[in-house]
């Protein structure tokens, strides 16, 4: 899809308040989790293949990020002492999972996504071993996902969610956030680490910003979500030197629909 066409589609979605709508084709060849779905397997062959593909992304991911996007990481000191957390990032590039891996760690990070990303075939094989966790499915699948998530967090993993839900390529503004990631943070009493990708400089190189963690103590999931959005908004306004405004005054309506 050409840049001009993509921008027109995103502008139309913004005007309509459809902040969580995917405009890219999703495909039909994917695996939908069920109650018997294994998010993380424990046999030796699976673990060996995970090590291989995580090492692959560790070695070659930074090269792709730098030469493809000019990626820089800012704020790594905010991860000091953090073990077992949910991070949330704006979804603005096809490969922004590699951005998150570079920011929080290739070996300890896992990444949630919509079921249509849980591809069949070789691509899905690689994604799952590199740390992809599919959302979606019925009650049994969601129960299995929650058990897996708790196990990973207890082991000190960083599990990334995209609470804006849909991918909008190179979109600079923060969008209203879905509540799911923040509910899990409350449920398992782990901090939220807000990540926000900005595009800076004449060449609009990507910067993934690691912001101060949000503690789950003494706040609700809704309050954690609002604090996160306010952090994203403040960084957006500081980086781009303008107030956060959408094409039409529909931001509040979008929040009510969550």
Place of tokens 């951005």: 99
Residue 2 pLDDT: 80
Residue 47 pLDDT: 93
- CA terminus-to-terminus distance, the chain: 29
Written as tens digits, the pLDDT of the chain (258 aa) is 788 888 899 999 999 999 999 898 777 889 999 999 999 998 999 999 999 999 999 999 999 999 999 999 999 999 999 999 999 999 999 999 999 999 999 999 999 999 999 999 999 999 999 999 999 999 999 999 999 999 999 999 999 999 999 999 999 999 999 999 999 999 999 999 999 999 999 999 999 999 999 999 999 999 999 999 999 999 999 999 999 999 865 445 444 554
Residue 210 pLDDT: 98
Residue 188: count other Cβ atoms within 10 Å of its Cβ. 18
| Both tokens assigned to 175 | 């969008």
Strands (E), the chain: 72-74, 85-89, 109-113, 132-134, 158-161, 192-200, 205-210
Nearest to 134 by CA among 47, 42, 39, 21: 39
The answer to whether 131 touches 54, Cβ cutoff 8 Å, is yes
Residue 209 pLDDT: 98
Instruction: Give the domain ranges of the chain.
Output: 31-256
The answer to whether 195 touches 174, Cβ cutoff 8 Å, is no
Residue 97 pLDDT: 96
Nearest to 91 by CA among 169, 1, 16: 169
pTM, whole model, 2 decimals?
A: 0.91
Residue 99 pLDDT: 97
Residue 36 pLDDT: 92
The topology (CATH level 3) of 31-256 is Glycerol-3-phosphate (1)-acyltransferase (3.40.1130)
* Strands 109-113, 132-134: pairing kind: parallel
């Amino acid at each position: 899809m050409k840049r001009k066409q993509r921008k027109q589609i995103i502008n139309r979605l913004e005007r309509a308040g459809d902040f969580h709508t995917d405009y890219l084709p999703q495909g039909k060849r994917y695996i939908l989790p069920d109650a018997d779905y294994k998010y993380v397997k424990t046999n030796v062959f699976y673990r060996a293949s995970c090590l291989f593909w995580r090492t692959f992304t560790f070695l070659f991911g930074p090269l792709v990020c730098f030469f493809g996007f000019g990626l820089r990481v800012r704020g790594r000191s905010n991860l000091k002492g953090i073990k077992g957390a949910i991070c949330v990032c704006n979804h603005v590039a096809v490969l922004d999972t590699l951005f998150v891996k570079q920011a929080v760690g290739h070996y300890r990070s896992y990444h949630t996504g919509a079921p249509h990303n849980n591809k069949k075939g070789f691509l899905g094989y690689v994604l799952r071993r590199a740390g992809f966790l599919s959302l979606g499915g019925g009650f049994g699948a969601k129960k299995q996902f929650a058990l897996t998530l708790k196990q990973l967090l207890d082991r000190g993993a960083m599990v990334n969610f995209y609470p804006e839900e849909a991918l909008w390529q190179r979109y600079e503004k923060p969008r209203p956030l879905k509540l799911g990631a923040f509910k899990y943070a409350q449920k398992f009493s782990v901090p939220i680490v807000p990540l926000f990708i900005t595009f800076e400089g004449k060449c609009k190189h990507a910067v993934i910003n690691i912001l101060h963690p949000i503690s789950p103590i003494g706040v609700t999931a809704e309050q954690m979500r609002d604090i996160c959005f306010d952090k994203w908004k403040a960084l957006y306004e500081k980086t781009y030197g303008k107030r956060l405004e959408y094409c039409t005054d529909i931001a509040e309506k979008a929040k009510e629909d969550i």
